[in-house]
């Protein structure tokens, strides 16, 4: 397994979906994970696999902060240690379930399967802004690699074609110049960002009442995390975070957390707007071949306005990512 992703944090569930005394199965990097919340409200993430014969623990039961396997009834306590073997009550209790690092942030559950290389999930400071309303979209399950999905999120030249009438207009397909730089910032973290990106959008958001020129910034802060900010004229900045849960190299669950200025639309309407856009991207993403993002120079033809994509590819190389890419 790629150490870059193994040692990073990945979103796997909505926090509020797991109540005290409940379990939830999730997949991450070809590993089955069981999430469960104990009676004190503390969340646990374990490998969803009984060390006895490999059965899924999430098919079993959770009582009194003890998980019991559905196959032979072995029980496991809070630290993942076996506490009971019903078929042989005096047997030594050596079995131990693999236990992972888990955090709750931005309304999501984040898991690190390895040794965390970062203190926590990626920086998303807009989430802490009380002037912005938070809405969670997805997860969307896509048959493509995480890096292809991030690259699509950073791409503006497709708006006029894939999102015509919403994010783009076929009469205005030219992408004006924008700047791309690496950054390292105490608040925003580090990575690459594109700034002074301008696009005319017929309907930039659910609340938009007509077309407007929008200023965008995009920043990549981890191999599978990108955040865009939109700055509509006369309004405050909004942010949309694309947070990916890699299932395999070529299947990915996409979480989107929005920090918006729109306090009038319903949650459902805001989600429906994002669903519409994402469902337009999905068939394009699933058609791209190869599904893994090529990092080798010359594998695909690029033009000057693709330079944020190229900067992202360079960032992945520099981060030494191997999972979901071709190098
Ligand atoms: S497989 Fe879990 S108790 Fe036997
Ligand atoms: Fe798109």
Nearest ligand 1 atom to the CA of 69 is 2
Residues 117-137: pLDDT tens digits?
999 999 999 999 999 999 999
Q: Is 31 in the pocket of ligand 1 (CB under 6 A)?
A: no
pLDDT at 235 over 80: no
Q: What is the structure's pLDDT at 273?
A: 96
pLDDT at 236 over 90: no
Residues 64-117: pLDDT tens digits?
999 999 999 999 999 999 999 999 999 999 999 999 999 999 999 999 999 999
In the chain, ranges of CATH 3.90.380.10 domains: 125-326
pLDDT at 233 over 80: no
What whole-number distance in Å separates Cα of residue 321 and Cα of residue 223?
Answer: 8
Whose CA is closest to 129, among 304, 259, 280? 259
Taking CA atoms only, the protein residue closest to ligand 1 atom 1 is 53
pLDDT at 140 over 80: yes
Strand partners, 100: 45
In the chain, ranges of CATH 2.102.10.10 domains: 3-112
Report pTM.
0.97
Taking CA atoms only, the protein residue closest to ligand 1 atom 3 is 72
- Once rounded to an integer, what is the mean pLDDT over residues 142-163? 97
**pLDDT averaged over the chain?**
96
| C-alpha 75 to ligand 1 mean position (Å) | 9
pLDDT at 10 over 80: yes
212 band by pLDDT with thresholds 50, 70 and 90: confident
Residues 270-317: pLDDT tens digits?
999 999 999 999 999 999 999 999 999 889 999 999 999 999 999 999
Q: Is 50 in the pocket of ligand 1 (CB under 6 A)?
A: yes
Three-state SS sequence of the chain: CCHHHHCCCEEEEEHHHCCECCEEEEEECCEEEEEEECCCCCEEEEECCCCCCCCCHHHCEEECCEEECCCCCCEECCCCEEEECCCCCCCCCCCECCEEEEEEECCEEEEECCCCCCCCCCCCHHHHCCCCEEEEEEEEEECCCHHHHHHHHCCCCCHHHHCECCCECCCCCCCCCCEEEEEEECCCEEEEEEEEEEEEECCCCCCCCCCEEEEEEEEEEECCEEEEEEECCCCCCEEEEEEEEEEECCEEEEEEEEEECCCCCCHHHHHHHHHHHHHHHHHHHHHCCCCCEECCCCCCCCCHHHHHHHHHHHHHHHHCCCCCEEC
Report the percentage of the chain scoring pLDDT > 90: 91
Instruction: Specify the CATH number for 3-112; select among 2.60.40.10, 2.102.10.10, 3.40.50.800, 2.60.120.1440.
Output: 2.102.10.10
pLDDT at 234 over 80: no
125-326: which CATH topology?
A: Naphthalene 1,2-dioxygenase Alpha Subunit; Chain A, domain 1 (3.90.380)
| C-alpha 182 to ligand 2 mean position (Å) | 23
| C-alpha 167 to ligand 2 mean position (Å) | 8
| C-alpha 162 to ligand 2 mean position (Å) | 6
Q: What is the structure's pLDDT at 204?
A: 86
323 band by pLDDT with thresholds 50, 70 and 90: very high
């Amino acid at each position: 397994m790629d150490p870059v992703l193994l040692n990073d944090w990945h979103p796997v569930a909505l926090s509020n979906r797991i109540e005290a005394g409940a379990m939830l199965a999730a997949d991450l990097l070809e590993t089955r994970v069981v999430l469960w919340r104990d009676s004190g409200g503390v969340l646990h993430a374990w490998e969803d696999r009984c060390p006895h014969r490999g059965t899924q623990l999430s098919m079993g039961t959770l009582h009194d902060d003890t998980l019991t396997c559905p196959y032979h009834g072995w029980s496991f306590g809070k630290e993942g240690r076996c506490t009971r073997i019903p078929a042989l009550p005096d047997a030594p209790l050596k079995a131990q379930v693999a236990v992972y690092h888990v955090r709750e942030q931005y309304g999501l559950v984040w898991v690190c399967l390895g040794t965390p290389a970062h203190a926590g999930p990626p920086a998303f400071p807009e989430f802490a802004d009380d002037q912005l309303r938070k809405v969670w979209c997805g997860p969307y399950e896509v048959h493509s690699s995480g890096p292809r999905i991030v690259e699509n999120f950073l791409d503006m030249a497709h708006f006029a074609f894939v999102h015509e009438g919403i994010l783009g207009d076929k009469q205005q397909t030219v992408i004006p110049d924008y700047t791309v730089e690496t950054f390292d910032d105490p608040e925003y973290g580090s990575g690459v960002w594109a700034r002074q990106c301008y696009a005319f959008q017929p309907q930039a958001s659910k609340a938009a009442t007509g077309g407007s020129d929008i200023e965008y910034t995009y920043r990549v802060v981890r191999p599978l995390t990108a955040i865009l900010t939109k700055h509509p004229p006369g309004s405050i900045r909004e942010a949309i975070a694309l947070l990916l849960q890699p299932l395999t190299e070529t299947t990915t669950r996409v979480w989107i957390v929005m920090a918006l200025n729109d306090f009038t639309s319903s949650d459902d309407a805001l989600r429906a707007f994002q669903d519409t856009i994402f469902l337009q991207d999905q068939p394009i993403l699933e058609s791209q071949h190869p599904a893994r993002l090529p990092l080798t120079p010359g594998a695909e033809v690029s033009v000057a306005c693709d330079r944020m994509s190229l900067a992202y590819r360079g960032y992945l190389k520099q981060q030494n990512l191997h999972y979901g890419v071709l190098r």
